Amino acid sequence: GTNGAFESMTGYVQDEIRGKTLQGMPRIDEIAKPGNSSGVYTAESVFPTRYGSQQCISWSNSFIEDENGNPKFAVSIGIDLT
**Mean pLDDT taken over the chain:** 76
Which of the four pLDDT bands, split at 50, 70 and 90, describes residue 32?
A: low
| Mean pLDDT, residues 19-30 taken together | 61
Which pLDDT value is given to residue 71?
74
Cα angle value 73/34/55 (rounded, 5°) = 55
Question: Radius of gyration over alpha carbons of the chain, in Å?
Answer: 13
Which of the four pLDDT bands, split at 50, 70 and 90, describes residue 30?
A: low
Residues 71/61, Cβ–Cβ less than 8 Å: no
Residues 62/37, Cβ–Cβ less than 8 Å: no
Residues 20/12, Cβ–Cβ less than 8 Å: no
- Looking only at the bridges linking them, the beta strands covering 71-80 and 40-48 are unpaired
pTM over 0.75: no
